[in-house]
Structure 1
């Protein structure tokens, strides 16, 4: 490591510790030439993820963009900011665990819908309605029917239409 004061390449680490968030390591160093001390931070370099949009264009993956879409879908639902953040982190982790540098919006949308389906069915349907771009009421009803069939098969309590209205 090059000394910021005298530019010497001869330095030694005197102390290392994790930062509070655990995402990097703080190192105290001392220059062997001039004797001055300085601090460096070591972090993992992550490759940028590019998103392939439906029209074939590409842009950098944005956690903020994903988060804002989730916030809209979860509006007026009993879903905390932490739960939304957990979904954002989970989706990014899934993408990075696949070691992909490019991922389609279809894959991202499916990851989000899998998470929302477990968390809140109304938020799931809201997100799906935008993501899947339902062209008519029939395609929207098909999605609702699939969700209700899945609910029956998983043994969850079935609600009547009136119960669902009161729930909102």
Structure 2
């Protein structure tokens, strides 16, 4: 039982590394969808949120719906403030580091641009930052995943030997 428990812990850590990589890819895809909505759909940022809510799964869909609904209520808060608040809540429940969330939300700090071209350029810069993080995490994950599983199994064996 000790060996299987330790191995299970190692597998859990491995899954955490893989989940972070999957989440980063999802965030990159969200930025690409945003860019597509602006470029081809000629949508405003709140309208983009409504369209993305219909296309994405949870937890992103609810966060985007909340952003759109709050912007429709016209509470006086700016889009970047509302978007950041809801997306930070959403990202807090996901297996990403703080810097990953900041890279994703970087484009929204410059959303005051009325020009479609500038909005797209800032989104592209955020997407490139996420792509760099994805590339770095992919390189690191192979070793970390093997190490997590190996250390889990070996620590289980060590505990069994010590307890005997």
Query: TM-score with structure 1 length normalisation?
Result: 0.28
Could you say which structure has the higher strand fraction?
A: 1
Q: Which structure is higher in helix share?
A: 2
Output the TM-score relative to the length of structure 2: 0.29
Instruction: Flag the structure with larger Rg.
Output: 1
With CA pairs under 8 Å and 6+ residues apart, which has the higher RCO, 1 or 2? 2
